[in-house]
Structure 1
Amino acid sequence: MRNSVACSVCEVKECPILQSCSDNWIEKLSELKHTSHYKPDQNIVHENNPVMGLYFIYDGIAKIFSTGINNKTQVVRLTKTGGIIGHRGFGGDKYPIGATALTECTICFIDNKTIFDAFMENPKLTFALMMYYSKELRNSEAKIKNLAQMNVREKVADGLIYVNTIFNEHNENNQINISRKDLADLIGINTEQLSRNLSEFKKENLIEINQNQIELTNLEALNNMILPFQYIY
């Protein structure tokens, strides 16, 4: 556990609570939330566990995943500071996804009853979550359509660009730190296909590789590979 940051002084402007709740409710949620710190690879949400509430990312990056047939993992998306975890299970019995910290994460948890009461008393918060759902749905539909039409090389370029937008939204160093397995599970290919294409990209001076760290040295060329597809990031 880490000392909770009061919502009234929180600097995460993307947080829907700050954007949409009354001052009284911001103070109330600040008192009732639980703030926890997670190390890289530590589970935040266990897939199929009972839905207990919503998780709001104060700082860090997490992966959201689902386990399929033969325990094959599909990384559904990555989420970062200002993102929400567990909303797809809200109102249901079990979380349909799992979540694990990719970097060190600080996360605020609000239980079911408290968040439900907040929705009822703050219509703008309900609307904000609806818009969050809507954006996710659009992105998911575009991703499914794109991946069905992309070849492996295009999938790898698309995946690198997507991860880069998560890691480097506010800077231009274009360096990402993600395991081969997580990247392959995100793209929907196997690690052998991924490694082969990363090696080709390196030979073409599109990227540099240092263990799990990948630097996108020619972002323009990578973007050009996926120009025919709907760019959702």
Structure 2
Amino acid sequence: MDTYEPFLRNFILFSEMSDSDLIAISALLESSSSHNGEIIFMQGDIGNNVYFIKKGKVKAVRNNVNGDEQILEILQPGDVFGEVVLFGIDEYPATAIALDEVELVFLSKTRFKEYFTANPQIAWGMLRVMAKKLYRAQRKIENLGLKDTRARVATLIIDMLIDFGETENELVLDINRQEMANYIGTSRETVSRVLSDFKNEDIIEVNGNRIFIKDFSALKEWT
């Protein structure tokens, strides 16, 4: 292979690599696809691959001993997941589930480590990936630990609008009310009530899984 696919430049890990380096790593990548609701890997599975999202969205979830689901993050094109297996963790710490039609490329842990050793410049890209994930985790901890449920819902809507919004004011959700509740550590009834309150206050308009922000400033005040 003497070319590489342009979408690889969308990944922080690869964005500053030379063309020759991208061509080399492209030769190592494999492709896969998953349908909406399909499990890509399970929490506790042996971690053999690092995945890169080319198309679609993926949710990473953990289940407690009672089987309750906690959404850790929602990933989109340009995101990497499963990378923890490169750092001495043998099992995937979460389950990865496709939220729509997903196209992935992946690299085996063994090949990744070999490439990493031969090309230490990729370490900077990996540090940027980990910094982005740490920032997201800190934001979520702040949202869960320091804010009331109204603020949590408002923060979730704004964060998802920034990441996934179709326009600057309109968001189509890939998760249902229960999943929203799981993401911010509350109940489905509470999420529905807060959305209804925001709607009654003329802050948002809700139509099924579509949310239109009518008063962004008012919503922002609750975060």
TM-score by length of 1: 0.86
Shift of 1:13: 2.7
Residue 85 (str. 1) matches residue 81 (str. 2): yes
* Aligned counterparts of 2:90 and 2:61: Cα–Cα separation in 1: 18
Match of 1:14 in 2: 10
* Aligned counterparts of 2:73 and 2:145: Cα–Cα separation in 1: 17
Match of 1:55 in 2: 51
Match of 2:96 in 1: 99
What is the one-letter code of the residue matched to 1:59? K
Match of 2:168 in 1: 172
Maintained 8 Å contact 2:14/2:125: no
* Aligned counterparts of 1:143 and 1:7: Cα–Cα separation in 2: 39
Deviations 1:166-199 (A, max 9, x none): 212x742422222112211111111011111111
Cα RMSD (Å): 2.0
Number of residue pairs aligned between Structure 1 and Structure 2: 220
* Aligned counterparts of 2:14 and 2:138: Cα–Cα separation in 1: 29
Match of 1:32 in 2: 28
Structure 2 unaligned residues grouped into runs of 5+: none
Structure 1 unaligned residues grouped into runs of 5+: 1-5, 227-233
TM-score by length of 2: 0.89
* Aligned counterparts of 1:43 and 1:165: Cα–Cα separation in 2: 26
Shift of 1:47: 1.2
Maintained 8 Å contact 2:12/2:128: no
Q: Percent of pairs identical after alignment? A: 27
Deviations 1:12-66 (A, max 9, x none): 5331453244544422332222111222211122111100110001122211111
Shift of 1:98: 1.1
Residue 75 (str. 1) matches residue 71 (str. 2): yes
Maintained 8 Å contact 1:163/1:176: no
* Aligned counterparts of 1:118 and 1:171: Cα–Cα separation in 2: 39
Distance 1:204 1:184, change over 3 A: same
Match of 2:158 in 1: 161
What is the one-letter code of the residue matched to 1:81? P
User: Mean alpha-carbon deviation: is it higher for 172-181 or for 16-25?
Assistant: 16-25
Maintained 8 Å contact 1:17/1:26: no
Maintained 8 Å contact 1:78/1:166: no
* Aligned counterparts of 1:12 and 1:190: Cα–Cα separation in 2: 38
Match of 1:133 in 2: 130
* Aligned counterparts of 1:158 and 1:7: Cα–Cα separation in 2: 41
* Aligned counterparts of 2:73 and 2:58: Cα–Cα separation in 1: 9
Match of 1:229 in 2: none
What is the one-letter code of the residue matched to 2:132? K
Match of 1:41 in 2: 37
* Aligned counterparts of 2:169 and 2:56: Cα–Cα separation in 1: 17
Distance 1:43 1:199, change over 3 A: same
